[in-house]
Amino acid sequence: MSATLAAADDFDIEIRLFLDAIYHRYHYDFRSYALQSIKRRIRAAMQRFGCQTLSQLQERVLQDAELFPGLLDFLTVHVSEMFRDPPFFLALREKVVPILRTYPSLKIWVAGCSAGEEAYSMAILLHEEGLLSRSLIYATDINPRALQRAEAGVFDVQSIAGFTENHRRSGAPVSLSEYYTAAYGSALFDKALRRNIVFSDHSLATDSVFAEVQLITCRNVLIYFDRGLQERAIGLFRDALCPNGFIGIGSKESLRFSRHGAAFVPVSTEERIYQMRRVGP
């Protein structure tokens, strides 16, 4: 075996030790994240913290708890946009909303909401479909700083043009500008949208189901998990959904590799929206 290969293997060992240490010290479980992605993020963190080796970073983070929130920002993913994949939201409006209308009250879970883009998109869509006032949206993430940002409802004005175009293509009846005020390079979203959103700390890796919901969206979150952790998350979703409840996942994520896959039937194969199979005869 060549020296370079041996070195790569050593780094893999260091990563395992590092993620174990993070878990035992801070109770954040990245041990079942997809290896190559977390490896890139750890390398970026090493660079940011000026550490030559991962053991150096590990030592510093274990000894100084104040460093951990900064590290967590590196280990979690914040890249998102409002109404990402507009056809997904269009399919929600056309195929899911008509059934959601039949419920007197709605609970919706946006899992892995990061800085809130998906949660606000959901609130806006529900408002436009006349459902927001009877809805409660649980927006969950593992990163407290991301949740704080989400709660503030402030987004960089530079990203608004893209969000606006996405929103338009999602079948929106009005412009996105109806929902925010722009000032000092930021767009502040209407507080009324937040009234029905509960932002809270929840881990798909370590926590359990907290409510029965009619709709879950968890898009581009499962891609960061290995198959074992994906199974755990999909199991949680299955347990959280009411009979005939809906779930939307990312456009390149799939339930077909999952042993829970048979519990779901596709509503829109292209947009990766599924419905729980009817339980019983």
Partner 1 sequence: MSGPLTSLAGRALDAIVVGGSAGGVEALSELLPVLPAKRGLSVFVVLHQPRDRSSLLPDLFASRCALTVCEPDDKQAIEANCIYFAPSDYHMLVDVGPQISLSADELVHFSRPSIDVLFESAADVYGARLLAIVLSGGNADGADGARAVHDAGGVVIVQDPRTARVPVMPQSALDRVTPDAVLPVAGISMLLNTLNAKEFPNDR
253 contributes a contact to partner 1 by CB under 8 A: yes
13 contributes a contact to partner 1 by CB under 8 A: no
CA atoms of 159 and 229, how far apart (whole Å): 32
Residues 247, 224, 60, CA angle at the centre, nearest 5°? 135
269 contributes a contact to partner 1 by CB under 8 A: no
36 contributes a contact to partner 1 by CB under 8 A: yes
Span from 35-43, 49-57, 129-137, 194-202 in contact with partner 1 (CB under 8 A): 35-43
Handedness of CA 137, 143, 144, 147 (dihedral sign): negative
The two tokens of residue 56 are 């150096």
2 contributes a contact to partner 1 by CB under 8 A: yes
- Of the candidate residues 67, 136, 205, 223, the single one contacting partner 1 (CB under 8 A): 223
Token pair 């056809």 in the structure block, residue: 87
Kindly determine how many residues on this chain lie close enough to bind partner 1 according to the rule CB under 8 A: 28
Cβ-in-10-Å burial (0-12, 13-18, 19+) of 24 comes to exposed
- Tell me the one-letter amino acid at 241: L
Closer CB to partner 1, residue 11 or residue 49? 11
The two tokens of residue 55 are 């053991």
8 contributes a contact to partner 1 by CB under 8 A: yes
34 contributes a contact to partner 1 by CB under 8 A: yes
- Of the candidate residues 10, 13, 16, 35, the single one contacting partner 1 (CB under 8 A): 35
Q: How far is the CB of 61 from partner 1 (least distance, A)?
A: 21
Element (H, E) at 215: strand 213-218
- Tell me the one-letter amino acid at 274: Y
- Of the candidate residues 135, 220, 268, 275, the single one contacting partner 1 (CB under 8 A): 220
Strands 241-249, 197-201: pairing kind: unpaired
The two tokens of residue 220 are 């581009």
Site string for partner 1, 83-102 (x = CB under 8 A): --------------------
Provide the binding-site residues for partner 1, judged by CB under 8 A: 2, 4-5, 8, 34-37, 39-41, 77, 79-80, 220, 222-224, 226-227, 230, 250-254, 256-257
